[in-house]
Amino acid sequence: MADLNLGRTIFGDPVNAGNTMTEQEALELLRDWVPNERLQLHMRQVGAVMKAWALEKEGLTETQAHQWWLAGVLHDADWDKHPDHHCRIIIEELESRQIDPAVIRTIACHGPRHFGVEPESVMEKMIYVFDELSGFIHAAALIRPTRYEGMDVKSVLKKMKTPSFAAQVNRDEINDALSRIQTPLEEIIGFVLEHQAGVA
């Protein structure tokens, strides 16, 4: 695998604090950059869960929560076309668009072992928590006849203990992410189930 370490921990220009993209602009970039519809769905799901957490758990405004959504919905934007330069390309694109540094750094934090950027803010920690877990839960839903309907936390926990299921999902990274926050795994799984089930 390519060395994805970004070699820096500061992103964007502080003068651009508060600058974002509209939902339409972000989704256009998503469609242009990500041909893989399954990956598009993953990114929209992470965005939805991030926004919901910002509003419900952090008590943030819609404007602040939009930043969380933006980081979630664009975090894997360069993975499809540029896997060997993952994160670097989308970060450079957002820096050129003068997007808020907090959004850019959050994207850089979604895989600290790969990108070398340790999550510090709550937004940065939560994208790391949600990224792998969101994908795992979606994989578990896909093998059920009723998909998300009737799916519960217990069944997800059982799947997590089965190493052969969704083996590409790194359980160590999930545990590392959870060790950085005060919320139990069961509560996080329940939150993801509730908020990404309706994302199409």
Q: What is the pTM of this model?
A: 0.95
Phi, psi dihedral angles at 197 (to 5 degrees): -60, -35
| Mean of all residue pLDDT scores within the chain | 95
Q: CA-CA distance, 114 to 128, in Å (whole number)?
A: 12
pLDDT tens-digit readout, 144-180:
999 999 999 999 999 999 989 988 888 999 999 999 9
pLDDT tens-digit readout, 30-56:
999 999 999 999 999 999 999 999 999
In contact, 151 and 140? CB cutoff 8 Å: yes
Count CA atoms within 13 Å of residue 9 on its CB side: 7
pLDDT tens-digit readout, 57-89:
999 999 999 999 999 999 999 999 999 999 999
Q: What is the CA radius of gyration of the chain?
A: 16
CATH 1.10.3210 is right for the domain spanning 14-196? yes
In the structure encoding, which two tokens stand for residue 59, read together? 């008590």
Structural domain spans, the chain: 14-196
